[in-house]
Amino acid sequence: MTLFRRPLALALLLLSVPFAASAGEDDAPASSVSWDVSAVSDYLFRGASQTDEKATVQGSLTWTSASGLYVGSFASGVDFGEDSPEIEVDYFVGYGFDASDKVNIDIALNRYTYPGASEMAYNELITTATIAENWALSVGYTNDVWGSGTSGWYYGVSRDWALPNEITLSASVGRSVFADAEVAADYTDWGVGIGRSFGPAEVSLGYYGVDGKGRDNFGQLADSRLLLTVKFAR
């Protein structure tokens, strides 16, 4: 597999897979099903385009129990070049719980798959700590990054701020570290964005990029760019 066919999928954080937070014991809801559908101007993952810089549609479906256990799936169009898969389908299982009044811990195992290209599939374990509802610290580990047979780590931090007129400002930075420098050079990705709800739609606009090592890894697929997302969720 070449480096350009599958940049490591985690997100802002880690980003494309939804994470569920557990409620307190006194007001724990019954199990529920949630879903979302999004139109995006590009599918960016760790600062690199997964769709050859083209727009696509994404969606996810998640079942969450009252205890904080959840399972689900995420799907998106992809474009890694001629004769490559056209869709990514991820499956995940995780558990979220409140470690304290201000800290929530989420542990998830994600399986990245590409129908018609089983050699690209791999697993990743992701742990996220959400602090005071607006800070998120994440660590991801895979023993088979991009299906290359080598291990990789991802470290991410993000922050949200509430602005006037129901606007949310967000910022994130992440670091990808690889056991084998022949697979890829360690690099940093970053992003800033704003978002707001308009009736049933959640609209966000962000600007994302990587450092010089990331551009060496992915070429123009990692050029800094704007990303527009329109999401409908329930």
* pLDDT tens per residue, range 164-204: 999 999 999 999 999 999 999 999 999 999 999 999 999 99
pLDDT digits (tens, 9 = 90+) for 32-80: 999 999 999 999 999 999 999 999 999 999 999 999 999 999 999 999 9
- 26-39 tens-digit pLDDT: 555 689 999 999 99
CATH of the domain at 18: 2.40.160.40
Structural domains in the chain (count): 1
SS3 of the chain: the string is CCHHHCCCCCECCECCCCCCCCCCHHHCCCCEEEEEEEEECCCEECCEECCCCCCEEEEEEEEECCCCEEEEEEEEECCCCCCCCCEEEEEEEEEEEECCCCEEEEEEEEEEECCCCHHHCEEEEEEEEEECCCEEEEEEEECCHHHCCCCEEEEEEEEEEEEHHHEEEEEEEEEEEECCCCCCCCEEEEEEEEEEEECCEEEEEEEEEECHHHHHHHHHHHCCEEEEEEEEEC
Q: What pTM, to 2 d.p., does this model score? A: 0.86
Q: Domain span at residue 224?
A: 3-233
Higher pLDDT, 30 or 223: 223
